[in-house]
Structure 1
C-alpha cells in the first residue's frame, strides 16, 4: 500500500477534503441501497399478501365452487348410545331403519397362568423336550411354532424354530414380527396376544408341528387354528375370536370388518347391539345451518382479505418518507422508527397495477349473475350485497346476519332460500364462486420473465430487479474505492510537487547574501 502524504507540506487537511468530495458520490450509492431496501420490503409485502390470497383460493373458494359443498346433510338417530351417525352429500333425505346384530372385534388370546415364568426363561428349563419323531414315527428336526396373521393374500407368516435355548422373549418377539400385539406379564404369568385390527379377515393362528407335548403347551397355550372358538378360561387359556360387525340396514344384512360402516352416504359408528325386536331409526335431512355458516364464514374471510388489499392499493402516498440513515434512527425512539418504516411499507403497493387487476377480478366476478333453470340469480338474490358506504370499497354484507351491523336489520334471504329450495341455492352460488375461482386461476398463470406459475404477483420481475440493484451497489463500491484512491494519488502528487518546490526555494535562498 502506497504511503499517503496527508498535508505534510501544504498544511491542508486532505482527509477532510477527500471525505467532502466523496460524500456527494456516496449519496448516489446510498440512494441505490435505499431503493433496494424498498424493493425488498415490497417483495415481502407481496409474499405475505400472495399467501393470504392463495389460502382463500385453494381453501374456502375452491370448496364453494363445487355444487356438492352446498348439499350438506345431517343425520340423527333415536339411540346415540348404540350408534353415532353422520351423513355426507350423497345421503338421501328420509328415514332409515337399523338393527345391530354383532359388533366387530379383534381376536384376543390370553394364556393359562404359569407361575415363575420370566421373559428370560428357556423352554427347556420348564420341561419342554425336543421330540425326535412325529406322530407317525418319522424323525423330525424339532418343534416349529407357526404364527399366521390374517386370512387373505396379505396374511403374514412367521416361523419360530424351537431349540433348547429358545426363550419366552423369543416367542413374544416372533408374535410382534408377525404384526400382532403381544406381551408377557411376569406378575400374572400370562401371555396377552391380540390382532391389531378387528374383523375375521384379521384373525390369527398359532400352531406347531406337534399336537402332543408341544412347546405351546409349556407356555400355557394350545393349538389355535382357523376353527378356534371363544373360550372363557379362568386360570386357563382364554380366547375371544375375531368377529365382523353385522347390521340389518333397511332390511338388508351387511357385514364389515370394523364398527365404522358407511351405507349410502350415511356413516355409522356402531357402539352396541340391539336386542330382540329393537329397531333404531335414522333420519337424514339438509343441514341448512352448516351451509349457511359456510357462506357466512367465507364472507368474513373475503372481507378481511379485501380490507387489506384495499388498504394497500388506496394507501396514502409516502413520497416524502425516505429510508432513515443510521444517524436519524439513533436520534429517534424505536417506536417512531417503526412507525416511519411502516408508513413507507404501507404505501409500497399503492396503485400497483397487479394488485389493481386482482381487486377487479375479485369484485367484478362476484357481482355477475348466473342462470339456473331459466332464471337469473346473483349474490343479491340471496341477501349478499355491498352497502351504500362507498368507503367500504366492495365489502360484502349478509342480510339477516346478527353479527353484521349493516345486514342484521334486513330479512334473512339466504336462510329462507336454503329452506325453500336448497338445490337452486347450491347451483347458483357454486357457479358464482366458480367464476371468481376461474378468474383468479387466470391470474396464477406463468408469464415468461415476469412471474412463476401459481403466483399472483410478478415474483420473477422483483427478483431480477433486486439482482440488478445488488450489481449496481457492487459497481458503486468499486467506483467509489477507485475514486477515493485517485483523490489520494492527486493530493500526494501535489504534496510531492510542493516539497520539491520548497526544496528548490531553500536551495536558492542559501545563495542569497544574508
Structure 2
C-alpha cells in the first residue's frame, strides 16, 4: 500500500495517540480486503489441487490403463532354452506356444579393422614415438545397415602432438564432413595385447568401413605402419547372423536379436560343436498364468489407490473455523502451527465435488457391470474380483485362486473382459476402455474448471477467471484503503490544527486579561 502524502500531526495539540487510533480504524476498514485475500488463497489451493489431479488422471490413463489394453498384459509367456548361454528368449503378446529347435551357425558382426603387434606407449606423442614428423590426416567412409544407400565420410586430422588416446577419441567422435552426423565408429587400443581396433557400432553384412580414399603415402603409412592396419585390403564388411530355426536357414539378420514366432530371441554365441556342426537348442514357449495374474493384481492395486484417494477427497470434513492465514497472523505462529492450521484450512476443498463424485460413481458402476465376452466369464465377480461390503466404497479384492482358474479355463474371455474394444451402451466395451473414456471426460472437465499445470493461474478456466476477478477486487480495496487512511490522517491533522489554534487564542485571552 502506498504511504499517505498528508503531513501527519500526531497528537501534538490534543495529546491523542493518532497512529494507534488510525490503525484501529484501518483494521476495521481492512476486513473486506482480508476476506478477499483469504478467498484468493483458498481458490489458489483449489486451482493447484485440481491441476494436480488433472496430471494424475492423465498419467493413470496413459500409463496404467494403456498398459492394460496391451495384449502383453494378458498373453504372457515363459521361454526356456536348453542352451541358455547361447540362446535366450522372452515372450510377447503375439508369442505362439510350442517347442522349437534353433541353432546359431554364425553371429552378426561389425565391420572391423584390427592391427596386431602395434607397440604404442600411451604416454608419448606421435612425434616422440617416431611415428610422425609432420601433421597428417586420413579419410574413412562408413555404410550403416540402417541406411545402406548413404555413405558417410570423415576426414580425421592427426597431429604430431597427439597421443594414441587422442587418435582413438578423434575416430570415436568422427562426423560426416557434409551432414555432420556421427559415423558410428568405435576405436580402442590395448597396450597389453598390442592391438589397435577400429570397427562399426552396427552389425550386419551391409555395415562397411572403407579406407580406399587414402592415396597419399603419409596417410597410408600412418594407417599401415602406426596403427598396423592392412591397407592392401581397404574395405572391411560385417556379417549377418546365420540361424537355423526348425530346420530352416535364416541368413538375413543384421543383428543378434530377432523376433521369430512372436518370441524375442537374443543370440549370444554360436552353437557349433568341435567338428563345426550346428547343435540345436530346444526352445519351449509356455503360457505364464502367474505373470498375467500379477499384471491384473498390479492394475487392481493402482485402481484401488486412485479410488481411495478420490473417496477421501469427496468425504473430507470442512473446518469452517480454519480460514487461510494472513501474513500478519503467521508472524505470531511457529512453522508447525502454520502447517497444522493450513492442513485444517485445506481440508474439504473437494467435499461433494461434482466432477470427482461423478467420476467415482462411474468407476464403481463400470467395475460392477458385465461385458459381453461370449463366455460365462463376463464380469469381475466371475473371475474372483469384487468388493466385500458397501463400506469398502468400491474397493476391489482379488480371490487369486478363482482368478487363476478363470485364466486357465478361458484366457481369451479374461482378456476381453478388460481390453475388448466395443460399444459401452451395447455392453461390448471392456472395463479398461470404459475407464479410459471416463477418465478423459474427467480430464476435460478439470481442464475447463481449473486449466492445466504450467498455464497461468488467471487463465480462462472457471477458477482462473474467478481468481482474476478477486485480484481486481483486491486492487480496488487496496486503493480504497489508501484513500481512507489518507482521509483519517487529514481529519486528525485538521483537528490538531483547530485545537492548536484554539489553544493559541485561549493563551492570548489569558494574557490580555492579566492572567486572571
> Following the alignment from structure 1 to structure 2, what is the Cα–Cα distance between the partners of residues 166 and 19?
79
Report the counterpart of residue 315 of structure 1 in structure 2. Answer: 316
> Following the alignment from structure 2 to structure 1, what is the Cα–Cα distance between the partners of residues 116 and 167?
15
RMSD: 3.7
Q: Secondary structure at the match of 2:444?
A: coil
Matched, 1:280 2:251: no
Matched, 1:111 2:115: yes
Matched, 1:442 2:435: no
Report the counterpart of residue 394 of structure 2 in structure 1. Answer: 394
Task: Check the 8 A contact 1:65/1:437 in 2, yes or no.
Answer: no
For residues 47-67 of structure 1, what are the alpha-carbon distances to aligned partners after superposition, in whole Å with 9 as ceiling and x for unaligned? 333333222111111222345
State the shift of 1:492 in Å: 1.4
> Following the alignment from structure 1 to structure 2, what is the Cα–Cα distance between the partners of residues 386 and 459?
41
Task: Check the 8 A contact 1:444/1:454 in 2, yes or no.
Answer: no
> Following the alignment from structure 1 to structure 2, what is the Cα–Cα distance between the partners of residues 72 and 103?
28
Report the counterpart of residue 255 of structure 2 in structure 1. Answer: 258
Task: Check the 8 A contact 1:5/1:492 in 2, yes or no.
Answer: yes
> Following the alignment from structure 1 to structure 2, what is the Cα–Cα distance between the partners of residues 68 and 12?
83
For residues 168-217 of structure 1, what are the alpha-carbon distances to aligned partners after superposition, in whole Å with 9 as ceiling and x for unaligned? 87976775435432345678765332222222222323334489x95354
> Following the alignment from structure 2 to structure 1, what is the Cα–Cα distance between the partners of residues 453 and 71?
24
Q: Secondary structure at the match of 1:423?
A: helix
CA gap of 1:123–1:280, structure 2 versus 1, over 3 A, is: same
CA gap of 1:15–1:205, structure 2 versus 1, over 3 A, is: closer
CA gap of 1:189–1:347, structure 2 versus 1, over 3 A, is: same
Report the counterpart of residue 179 of structure 2 in structure 1. Answer: none
Report the counterpart of residue 218 of structure 1 in structure 2. Answer: 225
CA gap of 1:53–1:271, structure 2 versus 1, over 3 A, is: same
For residues 45-87 of structure 1, what are the alpha-carbon distances to aligned partners after superposition, in whole Å with 9 as ceiling and x for unaligned? 3233333322211111122234553222332222211111111
> Following the alignment from structure 2 to structure 1, what is the Cα–Cα distance between the partners of residues 158 and 475?
76
Q: Secondary structure at the match of 1:306?
A: helix
When Rg is computed on C-alpha atoms for both structures, the one with the higher figure is 1
Q: How does 1:79-478 map to 2 (within 5 A)?
A: 79-113=83-117, 120-121=125-126, 147-150=140-143, 152-158=148-154, 175-176=171-172, 177=174, 179-183=184-188, 190-207=195-212, 208-209=214-215, 215=221, 216-219=223-226, 220-223=228-231, 225=233, 242-255=238-251, 256-274=253-271, 275=273, 276=277, 278-324=279-325, 334-373=335-374, 377-388=378-389, 390-400=390-400, 412-430=401-419, 431-445=430-444, 450=449, 452=451, 460-478=461-479
Task: Check the 8 A contact 2:355/2:446 in 1, yes or no.
Answer: no
Q: Secondary structure at the match of 1:444?
A: helix
479-488 vs 317-326, greater mean Cα deviation? 317-326
> Following the alignment from structure 1 to structure 2, what is the Cα–Cα distance between the partners of residues 307 and 362?
12
TM-score by length of 2: 0.80
> Following the alignment from structure 2 to structure 1, what is the Cα–Cα distance between the partners of residues 241 and 505?
118
Task: Check the 8 A contact 2:96/2:262 in 1, yes or no.
Answer: yes
Q: Secondary structure at the match of 2:149?
A: coil
Report the counterpart of residue 24 of structure 1 in structure 2. Answer: 28
Report the counterpart of residue 134 of structure 1 in structure 2. Answer: none
Q: Secondary structure at the match of 1:436?
A: helix
Task: Check the 8 A contact 1:445/1:454 in 2, yes or no.
Answer: no
Question: Which runs of no fewer than 5 residues in structure 2 stay unpaired?
Answer: 175-182, 420-429
State the shift of 1:318 in Å: 0.9
> Following the alignment from structure 1 to structure 2, what is the Cα–Cα distance between the partners of residues 491 and 344?
40
Task: Check the 8 A contact 1:181/1:196 in 2, yes or no.
Answer: yes
> Following the alignment from structure 1 to structure 2, what is the Cα–Cα distance between the partners of residues 175 and 66?
43
Report the counterpart of residue 231 of structure 1 in structure 2. Answer: none
State the shift of 1:459 in Å: 8.3
TM-score by length of 1: 0.80
Question: Which runs of no fewer than 5 residues in structure 1 stay unpaired?
Answer: 130-142, 229-240, 401-411
